[in-house]
Structure 1
Amino acid sequence: MRIALATAIAAFALDDDLPPLLDALRARGHVAEAVAWDDPTVSWSRFDLVLLRSTWNYTECPAEFLAWCERVAASTRLLNPPDLVRWNTDKRYLSDLASKGVPVIPAHFLAPGDDPASFPTHAEFVVKPCIGAGSRDTQRYTAPNRAAAIAHAKRLLDAGRHVLVQPYLEAVDTAGETALLFFAGRFSHAIRKGPLLQRDGAATAALFAPEAITPREPSSAEIEVAHRALAAIPGGAPLYARVDLLPSTDGPQLLELELTEPSLFFDHAPGSAERFVAAIESTLAD
Structure 2
Amino acid sequence: MPRRVALATCRALPEGDADDRALPAALAAQGIEATWEIWDDDTVNWLAFDLVLIRSPWDYTDKRDAFIAWAHAVPRIANPADVLAWNTDKRYLADLAQAGLPVVPTRFIAPGEPVEDRALDGEVVVKPAVSAGARGTGRFTDSGEARGHIAALHAEGATAMVQPYVPSVDDEGETGLVYLGGEFSHAFRKGPILTGEGVAPLIDPLGGVPAAAAMFAEENITARTADAAQRATADWVLLYVRERFGPLAYARIDLVPGPDGSPLLMEAELTEPSLYLWLAAGAGDRLARAVAASL
TM-score, scaled to structure 1: 0.93
Q: 1:39 aligns with which of 21, 38, 41?
A: 41
1:279 Cα deviation after fit: 1.4
Q: Does 2:218 match 1:207?
A: no
Mapped contact 1:85–1:260 kept (Cα < 8 A): yes
Q: 1:222 aligns with which of 226, 230, 241?
A: 230
Mapped contact 2:30–2:292 kept (Cα < 8 A): no
Share of identical aligned residues, percent? 46
Q: Which residue of 2 aligns with 1:174?
A: 171
Q: Which residue of 1 aligns with 2:182?
A: 185
Q: Which residue of 2 aligns with 1:149?
A: 146
Q: Match of 2:198, SS? A: coil
- Rounded to whole Å, the distance in 1 between the matches of 2:235 and 2:247 is 9
5 Å-filtered alignment, 1:47-196, equals: 47-72=49-74, 76-116=75-115, 120-142=119-141, 145-196=142-193
Deviations 1:43-88 (A, max 9, x none): 111111100111111001111111111121xxx3111111111011
Letter in 1 for 2:257: P
1:14 Cα deviation after fit: 6.4
Letter in 2 for 1:215: A
The 3 A distance-change label for structure 1 pair 157 and 18 is same
1:225 Cα deviation after fit: 0.5
Deviations 1:177-210 (A, max 9, x none): 1000011221000110000112213333431111
Q: Match of 2:238, SS? A: helix
1:231 Cα deviation after fit: 1.3
Q: Which residue of 2 aligns with 1:241?
A: 251
1:160 Cα deviation after fit: 1.4
- Rounded to whole Å, the distance in 2 between the matches of 1:13 and 1:212 is 23
Mapped contact 2:190–2:220 kept (Cα < 8 A): yes
1:118 Cα deviation after fit: 5.0
Q: Which moved more, 1:80-89 or 1:37-46?
A: 37-46
Mapped contact 1:2–1:48 kept (Cα < 8 A): yes
Deviations 1:151-186 (A, max 9, x none): 111111122111110001011111111000011221
The 3 A distance-change label for structure 1 pair 13 and 140 is farther
Number of residue pairs aligned between Structure 1 and Structure 2: 279
- Rounded to whole Å, the distance in 2 between the matches of 1:130 and 1:226 is 21
- Rounded to whole Å, the distance in 1 between the matches of 2:276 and 2:166 is 24
- Segments of 5+ residues of structure 2 without an aligned counterpart are 203-213
Letter in 1 for 2:167: E
- Rounded to whole Å, the distance in 2 between the matches of 1:272 and 1:182 is 10
The 3 A distance-change label for structure 1 pair 28 and 13 is closer
- Segments of 5+ residues of structure 1 without an aligned counterpart are none
Q: Match of 2:146, SS? A: helix
Q: Which residue of 1 aligns with 2:273?
A: 262
TM-score, scaled to structure 2: 0.91
- Rounded to whole Å, the distance in 2 between the matches of 1:119 and 1:26 is 54
Q: CA RMSD in A?
A: 1.5
Mapped contact 2:8–2:54 kept (Cα < 8 A): yes
Letter in 2 for 1:158: A
